[in-house]
């Protein structure tokens, strides 16, 4: 093998590989010599990957630090900011119901999260995961097929383990009248979402293991670039490829509401050709609207459940969505997410080329020394459990940061809706309605903010509307409870 620094050692796809032996073949004979040699060969690329990861994560931190609206309502608020107080606007009954619902949905949510994490971490950081993959792919000869089978088997296993908690959570939604679905329809949704997971994970892992195998020392460069492109591509096609799997969409029919909304968008300087309605009522009674996609796939979508609300309240919601559209929040979030994923893939390289971690995961850390050798080390498809465990850990670490930034962006969109409609009373009434109908947590604790809260709570949003009113000398919405 060449010791030259410039090029990749050529580990060409050996024709014999399709007939690779069973995954359990031992290659203990090289255990002694390889790490020292491999260690020296890997030192340069590992150092470069570490620098790349640091630069990418620093870039993410800098972009988030500079572009997040840390103060979504800039300027002086006469008399200072008011504190969120649910008792001002929510009846004791509404507060009690929200607390009871919170107490009922939290056990399945937390236990599902914890069990799911524990299972994937145990699979990834012990030989159990590689054994599971070895077992499921024992009869599969072709390499790419082994990657695909491993991806499907592992994601299915995790889904099956999470199922009891999802059934529990869904039954709580049913008890509180939030779900309108029959159990068979719910089961079909679960299957569809598993199918989407299979497609995304299989494509991502096939691409990853193809570069890992082709460029054992520098795959992080291709993986980081590919990961970035994949994140952007998925976000772009999501509204036209994934969303229709779950919902039917139609244009908001011609009429006063449509005219008003398009006029408002025009006044706001946001080019909106159409407003879509999703048939959300097939599974929920909750109210919502969202913006997804960017460029030619960007769309503003209203839940059909929302259409029975008074027109000014719908305008208030669409004003919020226009705030996202005007600031390109989806595109921006996608680019930052892509950078984070690129950094994560450099980190993944550092971790999966660690012989200690590979041994812990039950995979032979040797880099193949000879042409035609069975793929070992990070190129071994049995490392997929370790990869998924690292992805799960990374996602969990990133979630509180994502939620923190998301809450500020949502508050900025609220401020935009208030600027546009100049109607804080309707905004307050709408936020009250959203919180009551969706049975939102009215005073989340810090763990709930950290783990789940992508939006400020209803009382937070109403408090900001009162701040906005005093800033703009508009009548402050009186408490809804007298």
User: Which phi and psi angles does 407 have, rounded to 5°?
Assistant: -60, -35
> Whole-number minimum distance, CB 329 to Zn ion, in Å?
8
Which residue lies nearer to Zn ion by CB, 361 or 409? 409
CB 429 within 8 A of CB 480: yes
Nearer to Zn ion, 324 or 382 (CB): 324
Cα separations in angstroms, 382 against 16, 85, 116, 209: 19, 52, 20, 11
CA-to-CA distance for 224 and 221, rounded, in angstroms?
A: 5
**Closer of 154 and 417 to Zn ion (Cβ):** 417
- The least distance separating Zn ion from the CB of residue 324, rounded to whole angstroms, comes to 5
Query: What's the rounded Cα separation, in Å, for the pair 113 and 82?
Result: 34
Shortest CB 327 distance to Zn ion, Å: 11
DSSP code of residue 16: G
Q: Give whichever of 350 and 413 is closer to Zn ion, judged by the CB atom.
A: 413
Least distance in angstroms from the C-beta of 196 to Zn ion: 23
The distance of closest approach from Cβ of residue 105 to Zn ion in the complex, given in angstroms and rounded to an integer, is 21
Closest by CA to 404, choosing from 61, 70, 57, is 70
- Between 71 and 87, CB nearer to Zn ion: 71
For the bound state, the minimum distance from the C-beta of residue 414 to Zn ion, rounded and expressed in Å, comes to 8
Whole-number Cα distances in Å, 43 to 35, 50, 217, 361, 424: 11, 11, 10, 22, 60
Nearest distance from residue 321's CB to Zn ion, in Å? 7
Q: Based on CB atoms, which residue is closest to Zn ion, 413 or 418?
A: 413
Query: Based on C-alpha coordinates, what's the Rg of the chain?
Result: 26
CB closer to Zn ion, 89 vs 410: 410
Give the residue from 212, 28, 128, 26 showing the smallest Cα distance to 382: 128
Report the residue number, 287 or 384, with the smaller CB distance to Zn ion. 287
Would you say 143 or 461 has its CB closer to Zn ion? 461
CB of 456 to Zn ion, least distance (A): 10
**316-355 residues labelled b (16+ CB within 10 A) or e (exposed):** bbbbbbbbbbebebbbebbbbbbbbbbbbbbbbbbbbbbb
CB burial class (10 A; 0-12, 13-18, 19+) of residue 85? middle
Footprint on this chain of Zn ion (rule: CB under 5 A) = 410, 413
Q: In the bound complex, what is the minimum distance in angstroms from residue 323's beta carbon to Zn ion?
A: 7
Cβ contact 144:206 at 8 Å = yes
Distance CA 92, CA 288 (A): 24
């Amino acid at each position: 093998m060449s010791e030259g620094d410039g090029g990749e050692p050529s580990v060409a796809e050996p024709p014999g590989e399709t007939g690779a032996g069973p995954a359990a073949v031992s290659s203990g004979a090289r255990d002694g010599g390889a790490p020292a040699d491999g260690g020296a060969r890997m030192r340069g690329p590992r150092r470069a990957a570490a620098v790349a990861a640091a630069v990418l994560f620093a870039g993410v931190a800098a972009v988030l630090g500079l572009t997040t609206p840390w103060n979504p309502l800039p300027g002086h608020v006469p008399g200072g900011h008011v504190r969120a107080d649910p008792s001002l606007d929510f009846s004791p009954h509404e507060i009690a119901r929200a607390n009871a619902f919170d107490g009922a949905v939290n056990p399945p949510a937390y236990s599902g999260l914890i069990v799911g994490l524990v299972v994937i971490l145990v699979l990834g950081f012990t030989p159990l995961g590689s054994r599971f993959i070895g077992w499921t792919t024992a009869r599969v000869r072709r390499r790419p097929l082994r990657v695909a089978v491993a991806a499907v088997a592992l994601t299915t296993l995790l889904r099956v383990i999470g199922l009891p908690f999802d059934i529990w959570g869904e039954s709580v939604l049913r008890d509180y009248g939030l779900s309108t679905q029959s159990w068979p329809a719910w089961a079909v949704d679960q299957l569809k979402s598993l199918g989407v997971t299979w497609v995304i994970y299989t494509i991502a892992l096939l691409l990853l293991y193809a570069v890992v195998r082709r460029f054992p020392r520098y795959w992080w460069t291709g993986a980081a670039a590919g990961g970035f492109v994949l994140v952007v591509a998925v976000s772009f096609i999501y509204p036209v490829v994934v969303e229709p799997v779950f919902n039917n969409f139609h244009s908001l029919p011609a009429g006063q509401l449509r005219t008003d909304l398009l006029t408002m968008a025009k006044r706001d300087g946001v080019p909106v050709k159409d407003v879509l309605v999703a048939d959300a009522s097939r599974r929920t009674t909750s109210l919502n609207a969202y913006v997804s996609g960017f460029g030619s796939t960007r769309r503003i979508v209203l839940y059909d459940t929302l259409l029975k609300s008074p027109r000014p309240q719908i305008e208030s919601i669409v004003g919020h969505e226009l705030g996202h559209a005007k600031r390109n929040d989806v595109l921006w979030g996608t680019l930052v997410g892509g950078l984070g994923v690129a950094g994560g893939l450099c980190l993944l390289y550092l971790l999966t080329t660690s012989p200690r971690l590979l041994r812990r995961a039950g995979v032979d850390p040797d880099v193949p020394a000879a042409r035609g050798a069975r793929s070992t080390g990070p190129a071994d498809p049995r490392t997929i459990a370790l990869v998924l465990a690292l992805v799960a850990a990374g996602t969990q670490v990133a979630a509180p940061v994502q939620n923190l930034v998301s809450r500020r962006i949502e508050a900025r969109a609220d401020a935009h809706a208030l600027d546009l409609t100049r109607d804080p009373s309707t905004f307050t009434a709408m936020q009250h309605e959203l919180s009551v109908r969706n049975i939102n947590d009215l005073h989340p604790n810090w763990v709930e903010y950290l783990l789940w809260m992508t939006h400020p709570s209803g009382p937070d949003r109403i408090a900001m509307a009162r701040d906005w009113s005093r800033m703009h000398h508009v009548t402050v919405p009186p408490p809804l409870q007298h």
